[in-house]
Amino acid sequence: MSKKAKLLATRKEFLSGAAAVGAAPFVRTWGADGGKPLWKAGLMTDTHVHKTMESCSRVRAACELFAKHEVDLVVNCGDIAELYYPTGFQSLRKVYSESFRDRKLEEVWVYANHDRLRRKEPWQEVMKDVRRLLEIPHEPYASIDFKGYPLIVFPQWLNYERAKAMLDEACAKYPGKPVFVFDHVPPRGTTDNSITWGSSERREFYAKYPRVVLFTGHAHGSLRSELNIWQGDFTTVSLGCLS
C-alpha cells in the first residue's frame, strides 16, 4: 500500500458495511474483502441525553441494533449529554448494561464540551466525574490496542504536541495499518458542515498522517449524505448525530 493509498476505497464501499437506525448510528465491519470480518464497530455521536432515562431512547435503539449485530466495539464521539447531568450519565450506563448484558465489549468515549457545561472547574476535573458516572474504561487521551489495530482517542480540548506523540507512536508500532482516531471536532473543509463547525488547526494537523481514519461528531450530520465521508490527505467520517 502506497503512502497515499486510500484506506476506504469508496464512500459506497464504506456504507455497504453499515446498518442504520433512522439516520444516525451504524455498524461497520472491518476485514479482508470477501472474508469473515475481523471485528465490528457500532458508532454514534452527539447523543445529548438529558436527566432522564427517557432521553436515552435513541441510544437504547442504537445499542440494541449493535447488540443484534454482535459488535465488538462501541463508540460515542462526544457531547454525550446536553449538559453535565449525573442522572443522565447513569441512565446511559444502565442502557449499555441492559443492551449488551454479559457481553464484554471495547468501549470508546470522546470527552467533549457539552458534558462539562454547568460546572466551573477545569475540564480535566469535571471529566473525572463524567468518567466515574459512565464507568468509562479509559482516560480522555487513550491509545488502545484493539485486535491488532490502534485506536487513538482525543478529547475536544486537543493538545497538539501530545496528540502528535501519540500518533507518531501508533504509526511506528503498526506499520502498514490504518490508525483509527476518535475526536469530536471535524477538520475544517472536509465533511459536511465542517466549514462552520470544523477546525483549521485539526485539518493541518491530520494532513500529516495519511494512514489516519478519523471519526468525529459535533457537526450533527447524517450518513445518508455522502458528504459526511471525505478522503484527501487522510480519511475522515462525520458520524450521525443521535440527538
Higher pLDDT, 226 or 126: 126
Pairing of strands 235-240, 142-146: unpaired
Residue carrying the nine cell digits 437504547: 60
Q: What is the mean pLDDT of residues 139-154?
A: 97
Residues β-bridged to residue 45: 241
Helix 86-100 and helix 123-134: axis angle, to 10°?
A: 40
What is the spatial distance between Cα 65 and Cα 83, in angstroms, rounded to a whole number?
26
Residue 1: other Cβ atoms inside 10 A: 10
Q: What cell numbers appear for 189 in the block?
A: 473543509
- The per-residue pLDDT for 82 is 98
* Helix (H), strand (E), coil (C) string for 211-226: CEEEEEEEEEECCCCH
Q: Which of 73, 71, 198, 49 is nearest to 130 (CA)?
A: 49
pLDDT at residue number 24: 43
**Whole-angstrom distance, CA of residue 56 vs CA of residue 99:** 12
Q: Do the Cβ atoms of 14 and 228 come closer than 8 Å?
A: no
Residues 147 and 144: their CA atoms lie apart, in Å, by: 10
Residue-wise pLDDT tens digits, 84-102: 999 999 999 999 999 999 8
Specify the 3-state DSSP secondary structure of 178: coil
Q: Nearest-5° angle of CA 111, CA 202, CA 185? A: 35
Residue 34 has pLDDT above 80, yes or no: no
Domains of the chain and any CATH numbers: 11-240 (3.60.21.10)
Rounded Cα distance between 43 and 159, Å, is 24
Confidence of residue 223 (pLDDT cuts 50, 70, 90): confident
- 229 falls in which pLDDT band (50, 70, 90)? very high
Whole-number pLDDT of residue 44: 96
- Residue 1 · residue 176 · CB < 8 Å: yes
3-state secondary structure of 9: coil
What is the model's pLDDT at position 22? 34
Count the residues in the chain. 243
pTM: 0.90
The pLDDT confidence band at residue 30, using thresholds 50, 70 and 90, is low
